[in-house]
Amino acid sequence: MFIFIFIFIFFLLAVGADPVETYRTMLLSSLGDWYGLSEVLLRATPFVLTGLATVLPAQARLVNVGAEGARWPWARWPPPRWAHCWGDRLPMPLALVALLAAGTLGAPMWDSRSAA
């Protein structure tokens, strides 16, 4: 990983940017306030859960085939179709229940397309 950091520093120096200021800005914009931290956690959560879905069965000497693909229905199905369309029209508790229901119903529909 450190080699990529040094390569990025080389490119920053090549275009005339200050590497220290660039890294400082990147760190402060992603972890410097609550919004940035919430965005990092929001984007990282599916990957952490996918990793857990792979590691936990492996510790029990089981194989979980398709764990990486299993996160996509939950990541893609509810937000664009439900939260955007219904999020401002429904009360928050009802919108969350509808979002979870859409993900629960959308995931098997997504998985069943490859079973046919």
**CA atoms within a 13 Å half-sphere pointing along the CA-CB vector of 105:** 9
Tens-place pLDDT, residues 74-108: 555 555 555 556 556 777 777 777 777 776 776 66
Structure confidence at residue 67 (pLDDT): 54
**CA atoms within a 13 Å half-sphere pointing along the CA-CB vector of 28:** 6
Separation between Cα atoms, residue 76 and residue 103, nearest integer Å: 9
Q: For residue 116, what is the DSSP state?
A: -
Separation between Cα atoms, residue 75 and residue 44, nearest integer Å: 11
Q: How confident is the model at residue 50 (pLDDT cuts 50, 70, 90)?
A: confident
Sign, Cα dihedral of 34, 71, 80, 95: negative
Give percent of the chain above pLDDT 70.
68
* Residues 80 and 72 sit within 8 Å (Cβ to Cβ): no
Locate the domains of the chain by residue range. 17-67, 77-116
Q: How confident is the model at residue 15 (pLDDT cuts 50, 70, 90)?
A: very high
Q: Which of 31-45, 46-60, 84-98 has the lowest mean pLDDT?
A: 84-98
Structure confidence at residue 59 (pLDDT): 83
